[in-house]
Structure 1
Amino acid sequence: MEFWRPKYHEYLNIEGDVEIIGSTFQRSRILKELEPETYQLSFEDWVAERKGSLLDLAHQVLGAHDNAHRFEALKKAWASQNVVPFLGAGLSMPSGYPGWTKFLWSLQEESHVNAADLESLLASGDYEGAAQLIHDDLGSALFNKQLQECFDRGRAAAGAINLLPIVFPDSNVVTTNFDKLLESAFSGQSQGFDQVILGSNLGEALRILSAGGRYLLKLHGSCETVANRVLLRNEYNQAYGDAGTVGRFFSRFLFGKSLLFVGCSLMTDRTLRTMEQVVELEGAHTLPQHYAFLELKDGVDRVERKKALAKANIFPIWYPEGEHDDSIEALLLALMEDI
């Protein structure tokens, strides 16, 4: 669990720096340089305590609502290597990347888009329409430049994303994210991906996957390219239409393994609607069941939300609002541990 070392340093440094004759030193640095063996043993003890506290948290989460039985079904599928992680923006936020709402508002501040118009689109869940509105105001060149500047920045992978190569060491990975954190996290802890398949190449994805290996499927493309991107309304219409590569990919891919959605809001969006269409056409009983780690926000009708997700054959495992980062780490860790 080497990726926890920065968090361990935060723990050591929580009481502030040490001042010696006018110079200041971090406590973690003092311990590491003066007593390296003690430092390493202390880190190992801290990791054991961290794992214990996360598993306690997972136990609390799974004791709520109807989470426990659903998690056991997920764990059984995971143990049989029949689960593919599907990752959203919530996995990138601990590393310093903005969520879509924050990103769009940052663009609005540098545009002539009326704040009330943007708020109306975001409140209705129309993120593609909101992106299109700002794009049309800024123009393609400026919009594309600001998107790249935001998501092409080098960031150290932080939080639950670092557990994915450990929990899913041999699995393909699906994401709608534009950043490159997954490439970094997997190459840093394992052999990395054999290939990154972008949205425009999804038509060949099933053939490529059948040949073996491990692949990262970036359904909506990457931040540095425009040709295969899916972000604006017209790009969604093209990608998810009857002849679109993403829509056709889903109609085929959903007959394979179960998906585990992590860091995805799963509100009204094209991915969810496409899955609903496949389920309605083929019948839920003919398709794998999918799972999601979802934040249960205050005021949300949990039962109604669960019914809506079931239309896409997605079954949620809820965690409390405001405990996103630790809850995701806890649940991923619990897949590998007995609790």
Structure 2
Amino acid sequence: MSNKYEGLASAVHKFKDVVKKELDNENSEFHEALNGDKPLKFNGVGLECDKSEYFVDPSDVLFWHDPIAYLDELDRWEGQKVSDEYLLTKEYLEKSDQINLFYRLVESIKRNRTAPFVGAGVSYPYKLPLWGEALNNLVTKLEGTSKSDERAMLPALHYLDDVKSLIAQCNFLEAAQLIYDKNKTQFESFVFNTFDGSKVPKFFGVLELLPQLSDGCIITTNFDNLIERLYIDKNRSIEGYMYGTQSQNQFASKLIQGERCILKLHGNYNAPETYIFSKAQYEDAYGKEKLDYTKPLAKVLRQIFISHSLLFLGCSLEADKTLELFIDVVSSKAFDIPTHFAFLPDPFDHQKKLEKEDLLANAKIHPIWYQVAIDDCGTQNHSQLEDLIKFAVACATGKAKV
């Protein structure tokens, strides 16, 4: 080696090694696609029998010869990769005639005015029960207490038969009210212990996608604190809180300013004074005979409804007080109301589907139906919902096209 260029060659070699390691680490899949099965080969100078052979990857050649062209190829490859990844999702939306509605959702996410409305279905994969299941579990626990009381010659909890009947009719509000009236301490203790999600080690599924959908307002019917913990984990802690009828940490001001805030409609698991599940608590939150928008919870829920596009996730959207409020706001014709969206499992019963669409239309909520796969054991697979959310985010950020 000529001494004249030895230092320069050494410096270039070290710099190249650092850059190559970084590129290979960040873009390994792209390099594999570009390089193919074999590297490029060329020979050195000299006699045919004494020529050196050199091998180099096309990705290296392209980057060092024309780094702008390298980045252009990387963008094209990533775009094609995203298109391939969501090809089936896009085809499903087109075949189910939902592509235009999906496009409107994407536009809402782009404007950063989407507010996820998170139901129990989002927490269910973390082994936190749905409300009906939770009430059944509590009944089972109380029945054990009742039998112990009977053996001790104490009055049995005969009201539990009425509770089970109400649960069987999906009348969860009255079932909860009855248990709460008869055994408030046990009820509050059960909610605290059942919906404490602090032992969840890792986030996944629909819940993990929430920060990509919203950096502002979130509404949830869930008692658990998984959403708050997720945002802390992503270094985007939630700053405004409202639990049930109790407002904390300047929720209203954070909402108006578009900052991260959360409204927990039914309260927080570790604060019994914030719970809203009994008839009396609902009346205190929404009004007794008719909706009362001077009530803090009803007032702020209406404000979110008229200022954000709600996206319902993991919600059954059956007729309840919240839906009643939304329908009331629409029917008043006092506000210009944005379009709201809901991802819902396709019931495959055409009549039920039409009935649900008619109900939600009264609240300007447009369902985007997805398919649920069920295995031989009856386990439901909601992976298409995750695919739809990921595709919406990819489209909103320009990584994919509807």
Unaligned runs of 5+ in 2: 1-23, 33-77, 143-156, 374-379, 395-399
Secondary structure of 1:92's aligned partner: helix
> Which position in structure 1 is the counterpart of 2:342?
292
Q: Which amino acid aligns with 2:393?
A: M
**Residue 135 to residue 80, structure 1, CA distance change in 2 (3 Å):** same
**Residue 121 to residue 54, structure 1, CA distance change in 2 (3 Å):** farther
1:165-223 CA deviation, whole Å, 9 max, x = no partner?
A: 1332x222111111011011111123221233222245964334224531122122101
Q: Which amino acid aligns with 2:363?
A: A
Q: CA RMSD in A?
A: 2.9
Q: Does 1:256 align with 2:318?
A: no
Spell out the pairing of 1:196-275 with structure 2 (5 A cutoff): 196-202=241-247, 205-241=251-287, 242=292, 243-275=294-326
Spell out the pairing of 1:111-126 with structure 2 (5 A cutoff): 111=142, 112=157, 117-118=162-163, 120-122=165-167, 124-126=169-171
Q: Does 1:311 align with 2:359?
A: no
Q: CA deviation at 1:120?
A: 4.6
**Residue 57 to residue 189, structure 1, CA distance change in 2 (3 Å):** farther
Q: Does 1:186 align with 2:226?
A: no
- Higher Cα Rg, which structure: 2
Distance 1:130 1:66 in 2: 40
1:266-311 CA deviation, whole Å, 9 max, x = no partner?
A: 011111111111111126x821111000112243521221011010
Unaligned runs of 5+ in 1: 1-36
> Which position in structure 2 is the counterpart of 1:135?
180
Distance 1:85 1:265 in 2: 14
Distance 1:103 1:328 in 2: 24
**Residue 171 to residue 121, structure 1, CA distance change in 2 (3 Å):** same
1:15-56 CA deviation, whole Å, 9 max, x = no partner?
A: xxxxxxxxxxxxxxxxxxxxxx99xx79xx9xx9x9888734
Q: Does 1:100 align with 2:144?
A: no
Residue correspondences, number: 294
> Mean Cα displacement is larger for which, 203-212 or 308-317?
203-212
Query: Retained in 1: the 8 A contact 2:371–2:382?
Result: no
Query: Retained in 2: the 8 A contact 1:57–1:330?
Result: no
Secondary structure of 2:269's aligned partner: coil
**Residue 57 to residue 240, structure 1, CA distance change in 2 (3 Å):** farther
> Which position in structure 2 is the counterpart of 1:150?
194
Q: CA deviation at 1:62?
A: 1.7
> Which position in structure 2 is the counterpart of 1:325?
382
Query: Retained in 2: the 8 A contact 1:125–1:267?
Result: no
Query: Retained in 2: the 8 A contact 1:167–1:333?
Result: no
> Mean Cα displacement is larger for which, 116-125 or 219-228?
116-125
Query: Retained in 2: the 8 A contact 1:199–1:245?
Result: no
Q: CA deviation at 1:321?
A: 3.6
> Which position in structure 1 is the counterpart of 2:100?
69
**Residue 248 to residue 123, structure 1, CA distance change in 2 (3 Å):** farther
Query: Retained in 2: the 8 A contact 1:91–1:161?
Result: yes
Distance 2:318 2:171 in 1: 10
Q: Does 1:86 align with 2:117?
A: yes
Secondary structure of 1:85's aligned partner: strand
Secondary structure of 1:301's aligned partner: helix
TM-score (norm 1): 0.77
Identity of aligned residues (%): 29
Q: Does 1:162 align with 2:208?
A: yes
Q: Which amino acid aligns with 2:116?
A: P
Distance 1:268 1:227 in 2: 25
Distance 2:137 2:195 in 1: 13
Q: CA deviation at 1:67?
A: 2.0
**Residue 252 to residue 182, structure 1, CA distance change in 2 (3 Å):** same
Distance 1:117 1:57 in 2: 48
TM-score (norm 2): 0.66
Distance 2:197 2:336 in 1: 42
Q: CA deviation at 1:125?
A: 4.3
Q: Which structure would you say has the larger RCO, counting Cα contacts within 8 Å and 6 or more residues apart? A: 1
Spell out the pairing of 1:15-30 with structure 2 (5 A cutoff): none
Q: Which amino acid aligns with 2:340?
A: H
Q: Which amino acid aligns with 2:329?
A: V
Distance 1:64 1:321 in 2: 16
Q: Which amino acid aligns with 1:172?
A: C
Secondary structure of 1:315's aligned partner: strand
